[in-house]
Every structure is written in C-alpha cells, then in structure tokens.
C-alpha cells in the first residue's frame, strides 16, 4: 500500500498544508489598484479573472505547498491524493486499489489542484494516514 517514503512525503505535505491553512486565515496582501475594476455603481471589486483563490495562491506558504506537491513523483502524488480521499471519508481503506486507479486518471494539474486548494488537507492527510496505518498499510 504505502511505503515508508510515501508516508514521509505525505506527512511533509500535511505539515506544509497546516502552514498554508494558517496563511489562508490571514488577510491577503493588498491587491494593486490595476487589478481592480469599478462597476457602474462605483464600488471597487476584484476583476472577474482574479479569484480569491488566486490571491491566496500568491502567499508564500501556498506557493511552497503547490511546488512541493508538483515536485512529488507521480506515484507518490497519486497515493497522497488517495490518502486525502480516505481521510475525507470519500473512500475506505478497502477501496484503496480503486481510489489509486481513480487518481491515475487525473492529470498532474488536477491532482495538484485538488490537494493544494483543499483547506482541510492537513486534517484529511492526518486522518487518512492514521486509517492506513491502522489497516496495516
């Protein structure tokens, strides 16, 4: 199921996710006025192509998490995604082979986005790893 390296890498991502979650709770950096638009009623709003998620992704902790996930070998990224699914309750440990097969169908960007954009990634990975460990994997 999970090799020791897989567990260590997943724990590292979980730790980084905890730091990213803390950063998500901080107010985003000031948005430059050039990225704002003024609708007819006069109030400023973020331009339609700039989502809050993009602003959050600009935070150093989020960028570090994103790059760390992208740097994982594909098989470890798939297993990390699978552990997160188990930790979220979307699957059980008995579904391991199916969940890993489902992860294999996702693109690198989909895997990374699913993991990096999950605000509760740390908790999901911690729960998932505990469930895998309990099952002897």
Greatest CA separation for the chain = 61
Contact criterion met (CB below 8 Å) for 68 and 12? yes
Per-residue confidence (pLDDT) for residue 45, from 0 to 100: 45
Model-level pTM? Answer: 0.73
Task: State the Cα–Cα distance between residues 119 and 130, nearest whole angstrom.
Answer: 19
Spell out the residues 6+ positions from residue 76 whose beta carbon is closer than 8 angstroms to its own: 5, 6, 9, 10
**Mean pLDDT, rounded, of the chain:** 79
Per-residue confidence (pLDDT) for residue 108, from 0 to 100: 94
Digit-coded pLDDT (tens) for 7-58: 888 888 888 888 887 776 655 455 555 554 444 444 444 444 344 455 556 6
């Amino acid at each position: 199921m999970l090799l020791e390296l897989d567990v260590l890498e997943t724990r590292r991502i979980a730790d980084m996710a905890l730091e990213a979650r803390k950063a998500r709770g901080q107010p985003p950096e000031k948005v430059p006025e050039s990225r704002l638009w003024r609708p007819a009623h006069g109030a400023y709003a973020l331009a339609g192509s700039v989502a809050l998620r993009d602003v959050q992704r600009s935070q150093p902790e989020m960028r570090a998490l994103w790059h760390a996930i992208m740097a994982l070998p594909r098989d470890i990224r798939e297993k990390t995604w699978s552990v997160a699914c188990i930790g979220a309750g979307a699957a059980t440990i008995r579904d391991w082979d199916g969940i890993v097969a489902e992860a294999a169908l996702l693109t690198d960007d989909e895997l990374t986005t699913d993991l990096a954009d999950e605000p509760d990634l740390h908790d999901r990975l911690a729960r998932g790893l505990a469930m895998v460990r309990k099952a002897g994997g």
